[in-house]
Amino acid sequence: MVVCTPRARLGSALLLASSLSLACTGEETPDAGPADSGVADDAGETPDTGVDAGPPDSGVRTVCDDLGLPGLAMQAGDGTYDWGDVAGDFTVNTMDGPWTLSEQWTGCESYVFVNYIGTTSDYQDRFFSSSVTGLLFDTPLNAHYFFMSWESDAAAREARVKPLRDRILANIFDRYPDDATRLAQFRRFHFVTDRALDVAGSVGALLTDYMAYQRNPASRVDLGDRGMAPPPLPWMFAIDRDQRWDFGGSVDEFVGGDPKLKMASYLPGFFDHKARIRDAQAAETGVQTEILLDAPTSNRTFVRSAQLPSPSAMAAMDTLEFDVTVNCRYRNVFACSEWDRIADIELCLDGEACADRRELVRWITPYWRVGMRRWVMDASDLLGFVRQGGLRWFKITMGPEWERATLRDVRVALRLASKGTGTRTSSVVEAFTGGDFNATYNDRTPVTFTPPADATKVELVVILSGHGQEAGNNCAEWCDHRHQFAVNGAALPEIRYEGSVGSSGGCAPTTAQGLPPGQFGNWAPERAYWCPGLPVDHIRVDITDKVNLGQANTLEYSGNFEGGPPAGGNISLTSYVVWAQ
């Protein structure tokens, strides 16, 4: 643990460096926990940081420049306060001076608000006294955090946020050796002295409007035998990089777990993910897009057609993607879909009837989550299915039809391009599928495939996720199931999950890849091969050196649990052999 003691405080507060000089000894502070673990001057007050709350000087390099991010122009707020609406200007008074969004706007940052609401339980005390290191070190530099209290007494509000300020300052000084880096870090943290509901501008208006809605019995959602669910309190909310309100969601790491400040650190990465897709597609040229679905709907399955280019045009394509956007626009999160279900897009081999299908991409739906999520899923390794172009039919499934109907705005687009990514797959042969992970799971006949003599590359493609929770080992959702393929009798490297199945926060960092944070369910713990609210990866294995080109080859497959027999649950598996010419 590092112990830091202020040596001197200068009257000038032009820079963080001149506001405070620390003498530190020992190892890096892992975060000392609640209350007075941080920095205090000789009078017991937190030293002035000298952070300039005004706008950056004209021509001064911003965080957008440092991170290479495009900046968007600020929009005028539309005066409405539903999640997803445009957020307007606001001004907060903080322990380091006033801060106004329009004056500080860069166009590439997100803003997360963390609330002490003051309920009768100790929930908020545990929340505010939890570790701050995740906020400091596991979040991008283009994220701002505002810590606010709903308490009516000004002294009580300052006493609530000051320990957080102390701990954050102490950790910044322990971790970073130079004042410029310290200042860059500290500028992102704001300790609000206003009562949260009284913040001037859109923030106070949003909270006032939401709390009026939250108290209205008409806002409750009927969950059947689980009763009527009121909208949850706004423990955290945010303004994303599109300047739109985001609810933020749950601050629990898992159901029944303690609330943790680090859960707020996963929001900015999710916002960055969506902004990356937005910016990348805005800069693209030469992409052909076919819209499969674009409508508000409560249905979960759809069969849609797309007119693909001619065979000669398709021959030049090396990229096949599916751009999927789903927006739950309810204000009460419990009106959104609540379970982690398998969703996928399949190619219909028999046209509109779609009785004979092949899976192209898969994702897992999130637990209760308000707002928009978006993923671009790559199926380029399966282009061989559609090389002939023409009219093609696809089935989109977003969970079981029998599940409680919830309205979502859904957009699914097929994207084709020639990006110069390398090998163009020309043919696909279906291999093995999954099933109940039981004693008969491995009763399988080898698959035979014959790639042409002029094939340049042959690969095995696997889409894999385990589901169900067998008593005793939680297979196949939470267990170490492994998968062994062999080509012509030669074993391929065993497919094993490389993470730590069941770890409390293993899925949470994938918010930067598109997993929606703050789900009201066990979204953060790590599954084998998947996370709730995230696409399931295609596992690709190059088998060219094990294949006899122009001849019949065999592929064998078996699954096991930690090297032993299958142990329960269900393995959702699709596998193909693909090649390029």
Tens digits of per-residue pLDDT, 312-328? 999 999 999 999 999 99
pLDDT at site 36: 35
Tens digits of per-residue pLDDT, 260-295? 999 999 999 999 999 999 999 999 999 999 999 999
| Structural class in CATH, domain 275-580 | mainly beta
| For residue 22, pLDDT beyond 50 | no
Q: Which of 316, 312, 352, 379 is nearest to 536 (CA)?
A: 379
Tens digits of per-residue pLDDT, 492-534? 999 999 888 878 788 999 999 999 999 999 999 999 899 999 9
What is the three-state SS of 157-207? HHHHHHHHHHHHHHHHHHHCCCHHHHHHHHCCEEEEEEEHHHCEEHHHHHH
Q: At 59, is the pLDDT very low, low, confident or very high (cuts 50, 70, 90)?
A: low
Q: Indicate the domain borders of the chain.
A: 3-273, 275-580
Q: At 146, is the pLDDT very low, low, confident or very high (cuts 50, 70, 90)?
A: very high
Which of 38-47, 111-120, 199-208, 567-576 is the least confident region?
Answer: 38-47
Q: Give the span between the Cα atoms of 280 and 37, in whole angstroms.
A: 43
pLDDT at site 282: 95
| For residue 4, pLDDT beyond 80 | no
| For residue 21, pLDDT beyond 70 | no
pLDDT at site 37: 34
| For residue 251, pLDDT beyond 60 | yes
pLDDT at site 61: 79
Q: Which of 68, 70, 524 is nearest to 266 (CA)?
A: 524
Cα dihedral across residues 416, 420, 426, 430: positive or negative: negative
pLDDT at site 242: 97
- 543-580 burial, b at 16+ Cβ within 10 Å, e below that, comes to beebbeeeeebebbbbbbbeeeebbbbbbbbbbbbbbb
| For residue 25, pLDDT beyond 70 | no
pLDDT at site 256: 87
3-state SS class at 212 = helix
Please tell me the pTM assigned to this model: 0.89
Secondary structure (DSSP) of 413-458: EEEEE----S--EEEEEEEEEEEE-STTTT--PPEEE---TT--EE
Tens digits of per-residue pLDDT, 75-105? 998 899 999 999 999 999 999 999 999 999 9
92 and 250 Cβ atoms separated by less than 8 Å: no
116 and 130 Cβ atoms separated by less than 8 Å: no
| For residue 211, pLDDT beyond 60 | yes
117 and 150 Cβ atoms separated by less than 8 Å: yes
3-state SS class at 505 = coil
pLDDT above 90 covers a percentage of the chain that reads 81
Number of H helices, E strands in the chain: 10, 28
| For residue 48, pLDDT beyond 60 | no
Q: Is the peptide bond before 73 cis (omega within 30 degrees of 0)?
A: no
pLDDT at site 2: 33
Q: Give the span between the Cα atoms of 210 and 216, in whole angstroms.
A: 10
Query: Residue 543: which residues within 8 A CB-CB, separation 6 or more?
Result: 458, 459, 460, 487, 492, 577
